[in-house]
Structure 1
Amino acid sequence: MLLLPFLALSQNSTEYAIFENALLIANPAQITQFEEGVMAHNKKYHGDGPYGVRVYWISNGPNTGNYVWNMGPFPWSSLDGRPAQKESHDADWNTNVAAYTTVGSGVQSYWRFESDLSRFSKDFTIKNMEVDYWDVKRGKMEDAKKLVEKITKVYADKSPDETYGIYTNEFSSTKEGRDMAVISFFDKSAWLSRNNNFVEKYETVHGAGSWKTFLNDWMAVTDGGETEIWIYRADLSGISGDVKVSERK
């Protein structure tokens, strides 16, 4: 799901940036073999370009202890040239990674980067992420995006250095309930208890009492959500956690 605006896409074609996520569940008795296999595979096949991969470890919720294998950003068209069996990619994955996973592993999702709603104002290095998933009601995605635009305006006016990304599920389902994701990046866990006076800032921008109106409107277009904390695993990833926003301006 992550990160960069991938501006080259919007400048040169009608394509947009996508991220591929795979939930990997290691066999508890074979975690060492699993991690060694993932590390070697990503270093060999996913070390740069549109197939570059970052790996995250989930630290809370039902998926605690599982891994997210995150590839991208890339345009849909690039999947036609992804590493395949003829380069021994698939055989390596099956032998050195999949063999050490358990039931439920490998579930994939594809997320569209919503560049107009996101804020990447400076270079940074990924360490920890708060991933907020939202279950958007059927037919209400555009309304949800308009509400997010109000949040984006507050950050642009009052907290211009904040960094976050907005993503929408390309193949969402009513059963899964993960239609939109908001990703915030932080280094220290103390960030989770911060008070950034956001309500005050929101009402300064949109008027007194506007925050309550926003909450009511947001609840009208969503059916709840959930939050996960992801820890970047540099040792298992094919690419670094460095995000060079300035290079893509």
Structure 2
Amino acid sequence: MFENTYLTVKTDKYKEFSEAMLKHNEKYHTTGPYHANVWMVSTGYHPGSIVWSMGPCSFSHLDSRPTSKDHNEDWTENVMPNVERVIETGYWRRSDKISYMPDDSLFSKLLITVYDLAQWQEYRFKDIMGKVSEVYKANNTPHSFSVYFPAFDMPNGRDVAVVWGFKEYAVFDDDWKFKSQYEEAHGEGSWQKVMDEYRAIVKSSVDEIWEIMPGMMAPMKD
């Protein structure tokens, strides 16, 4: 699970925010479930916003998260004065059974598609994602494919997020031939069938691209 907080930085305080965020993460968020990554959103509803992401962790870990007086004062007195507003905070759990992570799973960019599903159709969506994951595994795809569900209800139809990790934008110039790969794995005619299923249960979707911001985060320590 990851705790993700979207922040809008004041336009005239970006330098101060970057410095304060780096110092905060270096001091309090370097290890294990409390390590924090920092991303910038480049497309979607909130372009230019910052995502502070802690994890992977569990709810049990949250009971022991950094909450010292020094920690809280550093966040409220040094980081937050440079923030125009907090857009949202959410807790997202990965469904490992229908996700695919290659051995080299460190990616500097993420394509995140957030879906609004028809009511009570999550089980059908999981079935589709499981079949897609099988295609990734069968072809040893070098990109990650992870499916996350919110631990609590989210606004604006944010029912599920599919996260695709990549390293270079040039990958979008490639012809993946995913349709043929899908039918190799699931049989002739299976692509049209899954597309019909998809259209029946997905109301809408929106893409976001996140890029890692190493200048605002600390390397993870053992």
Please say whether Structure 1 and Structure 2 have the same fold, judged by a TM-score greater than 0.5.
Answer: yes
Give SS of 1:47's match.
Answer: coil
Say if 2:215 is the partner of 1:232: no
The CA deviation at 1:85 is 3.7
Say if 2:111 is the partner of 1:127: no
- In structure 2, the partner of 1:66 is 49
Q: 1:91-170 maps to which residues of 2 (within 5 A)?
A: 91-103=73-85, 105=86, 107-170=88-151
Kindly provide the amino acid, as one letter, of the partner of residue 35 in structure 1: S
Kindly provide the amino acid, as one letter, of the partner of residue 121 in structure 2: K
Give SS of 1:74's match.
Answer: coil
- In structure 2, the partner of 1:23 is 6
Say if 2:196 is the partner of 1:216: yes
Give the count of matched residue pairs: 221
Distance 1:107 1:85 in 2: 23
Specify every segment of 5 or more residues in structure 1 that has no aligned partner in the other structure, as ranges.
Answer: 1-17, 243-249
Give SS of 1:229's match.
Answer: strand
Q: State the 4+ residue runs in structure 1 displaced beyond 4 angstroms.
A: none
Distance 1:199 1:166 in 2: 20
Give SS of 1:97's match.
Answer: helix
- In structure 1, the partner of 2:157 is 177
- In structure 2, the partner of 1:13 is none
| Superimposed CA distance per residue, residues 151-188 of structure 1 (whole angstroms, 9 cap, x where no aligned partner) | 11112223454422111111123x42111111111111
Give SS of 2:163's match.
Answer: strand
CA contact 2:102–2:140 (8 Å) conserved in 1: no
Distance 1:130 1:66 in 2: 15
CA contact 1:129–1:184 (8 Å) conserved in 2: yes
Specify every segment of 5 or more residues in structure 2 that has no aligned partner in the other structure, as ranges.
Answer: none
Kindly provide the amino acid, as one letter, of the partner of residue 199 in structure 2: M
CA 1:95–1:102 in 2, change beyond 3 Å: closer, same or farther? same
Query: Normalising to structure 1: TM-score of the pair?
Result: 0.84
Give SS of 1:57's match.
Answer: strand
CA contact 1:48–1:238 (8 Å) conserved in 2: no
The CA deviation at 1:200 is 0.5
Provide the aligned C-alpha RMSD in A: 1.6
